[in-house]
Chains A and B, each alone.
Chain A
Amino acid sequence: MISNFPPGFIMIIGALLIPFLPHIIRQIYMMILVLISAYSLTLGFGIHSTINLMDFDFILFQSDSLTLPFAIIFHIAAALNVIYGAHEKQWKQHVSIMSYSGAAIAAVHAGDLFTLFVWWEATAFTSVFLILAGNTYRSYRSAFRYILIQVTSGMFLLAGAIILLINDGSALLTKFDINSLYGQLIFIAFGIKAAFPLLNGWLQDSYPEASEIGTVALSTFTTKLAIFCFAKCFAGTELLIVIGAIMTFYPIFFAVIENDLRRVLTYSLNNQLGFMIVAIGIGTELAINGAVAHAFAHILYKGLLFMGMGAVLLRVGTCKASELGGLFKYMPITAVCTIIGAISISAFPLFSGFVAKSLIMSALGKEGLVLVYFMLLFASAGVLHHSGIKIPFFAFFAHESGIKTKEAPLNMIIAMVIASALCILIGIFPSTFYQILPYEINYQPYDFSHVVGQLQLLTFAAFAFICLWHFKIYPPELNSTVLNSDWVYRKMMPGVLIPLLKLVERMNQKFEEVIMISFSKTKILLSNTMLKNKVFDREVGSDTLIVIQIFTVFLILIFIGQFFYK
């Protein structure tokens, strides 16, 4: 019976009990919830649970070769989040993380668009509390913007689902045509959550404002759910190749100049999503495997990097590169784990990023997409620059900041060590890792050309950074705000729209005045004429006169209109 529950559902229901449990029992309880949810994955592929409401079959639990890798990594991430957040005594964030993870897992197993919509919105409403947990005025404002944008995404999804249902009589979650209206609406909904270029502002705005635990959870689920949905519904859509290539490319420059290291990681997240989107756009079996493998590996190494920066934030109270430095001697384990995350994301051989990214690059090479290939190669050098070097270097080395602190709490270290071990294991045993991918694969990432080419690319990119730093060409990090696409609704719209609305309001007032004066003059004129010529035997009220005026205008318009519609 319990295995027929959609995976994740038990985590959402179970989260309701969390506030009533003492701290240690709560942690064990949450881990049990994750395990019970994961047990549902043993049912195999197919439709396992449906519910009929209002003559519509909601498919709550459907699993296939694409849902499985996402379900596995979401469960692993949920378990890591439980461990990483174990030092937090307050229940609020635990409820939020457990229900958020559950909603994302349930969304992956949705078989129709309406079920997906429910979980889509549930991920938004459960995760917003993690941003609020940042507990600053900025995080409060950011959370408000976050929920507005997430709900907007949901509205696009719902509109697409309704149109599809009206057109086809079905809203199954399957491959959609981008040229149809519903396809475009659903595409935009997914695109918002996947942080497409110019729709990405919410990501860099909100994630760095969340609590140290919250950002780790946030980095895992929302965007990767969107990636899953694109892989399910828009695989092979060529537009995605263009969008993905831009995504890999432009966040790099923002990441280079950003001072807040957690925000640097959100730009890096955006850039990594671009790799996955390109692969989905290619749509071949190798490319889809690449997208899924990259999502899987990315959740681990990006989570690990966010964990490292979360530990720094917890201990030091800031993640600003300009204020950090020299923490290696105080937080050596955190530093080593962060470096492992940095090496993994940079795609060094023997680490998870390499075995995942190689699939995408090979897929691009096979399809002959040379320009996109070199854009992604350029982006790979960029990843090394901002995530591989900048993050660990400015936090743990660079200059002596004078900060004295202690190592991260034990639970955080355990979570980071597990994530680090997984990054290395995936890198060492790629063939085992490839077995969970959607399509059968016979691919060997460790050939001479791949390994030497990648090592040359990365070491020389690292050497360039070293030269820039050593010869003091690299400018110092500054306390600053880097403008992003959220500037449009945070500054431009209030800056332009508010004066514009005030102008419209003033014009409206003037117009009303003119209309009222002309009405009263006309009324007086009509009254005088009517009374003089005895049109009515009885007294004519002003309301009647206004109706007569409107009717007269209406007749004039009809008279003029007939010339146009002959």
Chain B
Amino acid sequence: MKGLIKKFGKINSSVLLLCIIFLVLELIGHRHGETSIEDFTFFPAFFGFLSCIIIFKIGVSLRSFLMKDEDYYDK
């Protein structure tokens, strides 16, 4: 545990710990979503993680044609 905290940092490890706690909470209680798809176990966790990765990947791929020099409009 100490090795993980040392390797990953205090804040990062805390977030990881929170993630685990919220997963365990779902197992203790009964969570249901606004839609039936959300009722799958750990759905929000998967959805949140994947969304963030997808947003990052699309954002980075957009860099090549949306990102211009800082003085682009001043030229």
Asked if A385 and B55 sit within 8 Å, CB to CB, the answer is yes
Pair A257/B67 contact, Cβ less than 8 Å: yes
B19 partner, pick from A463, A468, A474, beta carbons under 8 A: A463
A449 at the interface (CB under 8 A from B): yes
Question: B47: which A residues are within 8 A, CB to CB?
Answer: 377-378, 381, 457
B44 & A454 in contact (Cβ 8 Å cutoff): yes
Known contacts being A365-B35, A449-B32, is A474 close to B73, with CB within 8 Å?
A: no
The 7 A-B residue pairs with the shortest CB-CB distance in the complex, in nearest-first order: A365-B34, A256-B59, A381-B51, A464-B52, A457-B48, A461-B48, A460-B48
Closest-by-CB residue of A relative to B72 is A481
- When distances are taken between beta carbons in the complex, the residues of chain A under 8 Å from B62 are 253-254, 257
B52: chain A residues at CB < 8 Å are: 381-382, 384-385, 460-462, 464-465, 468
Residues of A within 8 A of B70 (CB): 479-481
Q: Which of A378, A452, A473 has the most CB of B within 10 A?
A: A452
What 1/0 flags go to A473-488 for Cβ under 8 Å of B?
A: 1110011111100000
Look across to chain A and name the residue whose beta carbon is closest to the beta carbon of B11: A466
B73 touches A457 (CB 8 A): no
On whether the beta carbons of A448 and B30 are closer than 8 Å, the reply is yes
Task: Specify which of B16, B49, B55, B71 lies most central, judged by the most chain A CB atoms within 10 Å of its CB.
Answer: B55
Residues of chain B contacted by A254 (CB below 8 angstroms): 62, 66
Closest to A366 in B: B34
B72 touching A468, Cβ below 8 Å: no
Q: Which residue of B lies closest to A205 (CB)?
A: B73
Size band of the B side of the interface?
35 or more
**Which listed residue (B29, B54, B66) contacts A452, Cβ 8 A?**
B29
B56 touches A474 (CB 8 A): yes
Residue B5 at the chain A interface, CB threshold 8 Å: no
Contact between B31 and A453 (Cβ–Cβ < 8 Å)? yes
Q: How far is the CA of A483 from the CA of B64 in the complex (A)?
A: 11
**CB within 8 Å of A: which residues of B?**
8-9, 12, 15-16, 18-19, 22-23, 25-26, 29-35, 37-38, 42-56, 58-60, 62-63, 65-74
A295 to B8, CA, bound (A): 38
A382 and B51 in contact (CB under 8 A), knowing A365-B35, A481-B73? Answer: yes
Distance (whole angstroms) from the CB of A282 to the closest CB of chain B = 13
CB distance from B56 to the nearest CB of A (A): 6
Q: Complex formed: what's the CA distance from A299 to B34 in Å?
A: 27
Cβ A373 vs Cβ B26 within 8 A: no
Q: Does A253 contact B58, Cβ atoms closer than 8 Å?
A: yes
Taken together as a complex, chains A and B put the C-alpha atoms of A458 and B21 apart, in Å, by 13
Q: A257-B66, A452-B31 are in contact. Are A461 and B59 (CB under 8 A)?
A: no
Which A residues touch B16, using CB under 8 A? 463, 466
CB-based contact B29/A448 at 8 Å: yes
Task: List chain B residues, Cβ under 8 A from A464.
Answer: 48-50, 52-53, 56
Set of chain B residues within 8 Å of A138, measured between Cβ atoms: 74
CB distance from B15 to the nearest CB of A (A): 6
A456 touches B12 (CB 8 A): no
| A449-B53 contact, Cβ under 8 Å, with A381-B48, A456-B26, A457-B44 | no
